[in-house]
Amino acid sequence: MFMQREPRSMGPSSITGAAGYTGFAEGLKLSATARHREKELIYAQGDEAGDIFIVEFGCVRVSRITLEGRRLVTGFYFAGEVFGFETGSERQCYAEALEYSGTRKFHLEDRDLTNPRIADMLFDYLESTHQHLLILGTQNAIERVAAFLVGIADRRGGDGPRARLPMSRSDIADHLGLTLETVSRAIHRLQVLKLITLVGARDVILLDREALIDLGA
């Protein structure tokens, strides 16, 4: 299995809730790298909140289950990105490794945002949440999927218009407020429109990034 291990992902945060940083570690007491097997739970709903995580390699999915049992995937996080912000003392979300992944964490004491680095991370997270909200509030299926793919590709940095999708169609669907079948059909339509090419089910090549952005922005 090919494991992507990018040095860093920069770029503005995207719809999947990323906050990319270089040099984020300065001034933060980071834990040693914890390694997680595929599907391993990193934290659970109900856990005590307060730890913030940084992805070293791999990909993490953060989700939340509603009272009716429906799932919202709040974000996917790649190398260099930060996840784990919560507003209460108990976690409402849970996080899992989508593939073999490494994370480091630091403790956020009592909502202490005096460290401007942490404040920036929180603002970036807020921005990605706004972007996600805009997509769920205003876009249709094909627009959502287009925006999602552009967001993923942008964050994977230097490797051009190609991106691997470590998440399933069902994960994408629950992130975009759609069903997995609708996601599959939207991807198919994007191929017919010659805006993307699929290589297998989990690799996409963006053929016309501008058109995708026009659709999804």
Please state, as a whole number, how many other Cβ atoms lie within 10 Å of the Cβ of residue 12. Answer: 14
Least distance in angstroms from the C-beta of 203 to a copy of itself: 26
Distance CA 126, CA 44 (A): 21
Of 193, 174, 194, 196, nearest to 183 by C-alpha is 174
Q: Which of 49, 98, 150, 196 binds a copy of itself (CB under 8 A)?
A: 49
Quick one: 129 or 197, whose CB is closer to a copy of itself?
129
Asked if 145 is part of the footprint of a copy of itself (rule: CB under 8 A), the reply reads no
Map residues 64-103 to x or -, x wherever contact with a copy of itself holds by CB under 8 A: x-xxx-xxx-x----------xxxxx--x-----------
Main-chain dihedrals φ then ψ at residue 148, nearest 5 degrees: -60, -45
The first and second tokens of residue 186, run together, are 């939207």
Residue carrying the six token digits 């805006």: 195
What is the rounded CA–CA span in Å between residue 151 and residue 119?
A: 23
Angle between helices 169-176 and 180-192 in degrees, nearest 10: 100
Among 7, 26, 29, 138, binds a copy of itself (CB under 8 A): 138
Chosen residue from 31, 33, 37, 111 binding a copy of itself by CB under 8 A: 111
Which 146-185 positions form the footprint of a copy of itself (CB under 8 A)?
Answer: 174-177
Name beta bridge partners: 107: 51
Per CB under 7 A, 142 contacts DNA: yes
- Footprint of DNA on 156-215 (CB under 7 A): 168-170, 177-185, 187-188, 198, 200-202
Q: How far is the CB of 29 from a copy of itself (least distance, A)?
A: 15
How far apart CA 166 and CA 158 sit, in angstroms, is 18
Alpha carbon dihedral 41, 47, 50, 56, in 10-degree steps, equals 0
Residues that bind DNA (CB under 7 A): 1, 140-142, 168-170, 177-185, 187-188, 198, 200-202
Residues that bind a copy of itself (CB under 8 A): 1-3, 5, 48-50, 64, 66-68, 70-72, 74, 85-89, 92, 107-114, 116, 119-120, 122-127, 129-130, 132-134, 136-138, 174-177, 217
